[in-house]
Structure 1
């Protein structure tokens, strides 16, 4: 992650990926989409670089190949 990596909110992630909210969360649980990071008590977002990586190769993306540490609030139940 670069120091200028932006945090994207859900609506922006939906617009960039074309995925619905439920599909995003299902894919997070499956490990085939970048997990969110907590940015406030009631807010979460995604690193722009992680979304860009997924958009570049959605079929080849695996969360376990992501170089960032897993966030504490992983929706995947792992």
Structure 2
């Protein structure tokens, strides 16, 4: 297995940039990263103040790690 496959990055033939695979993170990790509780996260999502998750199937959801990192960076500015 190549190193690119292990770290989730790869280069397509003829591409000039590396392609990064977005990691999905579940609610406990989101809570830990942003320092908010479940109720606040879901209330802020309803108010449009927090990124919405993607549906994984059934009642399972996860957030794109890049969106959460972007939200944190915006809060710090």
- Determine if the TM-score, normalized by the shorter chain, exceeds 0.5: yes
Q: Aligned-residue CA RMSD in angstroms?
A: 1.7
Q: CA deviation at 1:57?
A: 1.1
2-structure distance, mates of 1:19, 1:48: 16
TM-score (normalised: structure 2): 0.70
Q: Please say which structure displays the higher CA radius of gyration.
A: 2
Q: How many residues matched?
A: 59
Structure 1: 4+ residue segments shifted above 3 A: none
> Which stretches in structure 1 are left out of the alignment for 5+ residues?
61-78
TM-score (normalised: structure 1): 0.69
Q: More strand per residue: 1 or 2?
A: 2
2-structure distance, mates of 1:32, 1:58: 11
2:32 to 5, 11, 15: 15
> Which stretches in structure 2 are left out of the alignment for 5+ residues?
1-18
1:1-78 pair list within 5 angstroms: 3-58=20-75
1-structure distance, mates of 2:20, 2:56: 16
Greater RCO structure (CA 8 Å; 6+ sep): 1
Summarize deviations over 1:25-50 as a string: whole Å, max 9, x none. Answer: 01101101000110111200100000
